[in-house]
Amino acid sequence: MLESVHPGWMPLFNAEHDRLVEILAKLSGEEVVPARANIFRAFEQDPGSIRVLILGQDPYPNPDHAMGLAFCVPSGTYPLPPSLENIFKELRSDLGHGMVRNKDISTWSQHGVMLLNRHLTTRPGETAAHLGLGWDLFTEAAVRFLQELKGSALVAILWGSKAQQLSGILQQATVISSPHPSPLSSYRGFFGSRPFSGCNKALLELGLEPIDWSC
Indicate whether 1 belongs to any domain. Answer: no
Query: Who contacts 55 (Cβ-Cβ below 8 Å, separation ≥6)?
Result: 70, 116, 117, 118, 143, 156, 157, 158, 159, 162, 163, 166
Q: Is 64 a catalytic residue?
A: no
> What's the whole-number average pLDDT of the chain?
95
We report the CATH number of the domain holding residue 45 as: 3.40.470.10
**Helix, strand, coil share (%) of the chain residues, nearest 5:** 40, 10, 50
Task: Give me the catalytic one of 18, 46, 58, 136.
Answer: 58
Q: pLDDT digit string (tens) for 63-109? A: 999 999 999 999 889 999 999 999 999 999 999 988 888 889 999 99
The answer, yes or no, to whether residue 111 has pLDDT greater than 90, is yes
Domain tally, the chain: 1
Residue 77 lies in a domain: yes
Q: Is residue 192 part of a domain?
A: yes
- Mean pLDDT, to the nearest integer, of 50-74? 96
Domain assignment present for 97: yes
C-alpha distances in Å from residue 64, one per residue of 61, 99, 125, 131, 167 = 9, 24, 11, 21, 31
- pLDDT tens-digit map of 150-206: 999 999 999 988 899 999 999 999 999 999 999 989 999 999 999 999 999 999 999
Beta bridge partners of 52: 113, 155
User: Global pTM?
Assistant: 0.96
Structural domain of residue 31, as residue ranges? 7-205
